[in-house]
Structure 1
Amino acid sequence: MATEQHSQEGVVKHRHRHEGPQKHIVVFIFSIVLTLIAFAAVAAGGVNPAFAVVLLLVMAVLQVFVQMGFWMHLKDRGHLIPIIFMIGGFFVAGTSIIMALYWVWWD
């Protein structure tokens, strides 16, 4: 969060508050919990395989958002261009995968 600091000339300087380690620790614990949930779903053995696959995909997507948002700092200002390029890359990769599957299973 930005705070305002007035100088003697009347110019407003914006200072960004330093992000402390508390948030990083919470996000790290959240990442570990997501990993443990995914591991437990597979290690349990009695879980329906379709449910396990869906659960693993959901955990993977959440991990991607956590990794990119907090560890790659994409939640901060000034990261619009990398975000746009990553969305473009996801679009190209997703389209390629869908077209490859369509091509393989074409009758």
Structure 2
Amino acid sequence: MKTVVVAGAVGVIGRGVLAHYEDKNVNLVAVSRRTPDFTSRAKHFPVDLLDRDSCEALLSQVPDATHLVLAAYQWRCDAQPVCRDQVGIDWPGKVMDSGARRGASR
């Protein structure tokens, strides 16, 4: 079974993605700093994507992730989204590489 991880699950886009997958036959994982204030069947993990240790801990708890939706965004004065260069970790790449080792396609 596919496992969809939604990073930034409490934001506007993340909520929409969770709603889309709510009735699909997938394992659903919500990732955000804040606890969701809405109902979802997704298993929630409190993770700060700017904290490398927090991200690494998540990877160990969701080893079967097959899909990653990166809907996380952090406002900055220059309006740049959070990305690998800011975070300092290639979290999406690690999730996808982990799936590829198990035979999932990119």
TM-score range, shorter-chain basis? under 0.3
Larger Rg: 1
Structure (1 or 2) with the greater helix fraction: 1
- What TM-score, normalized to structure 1? 0.26
Task: Please state which structure has a larger fraction of its residues in strand.
Answer: 2
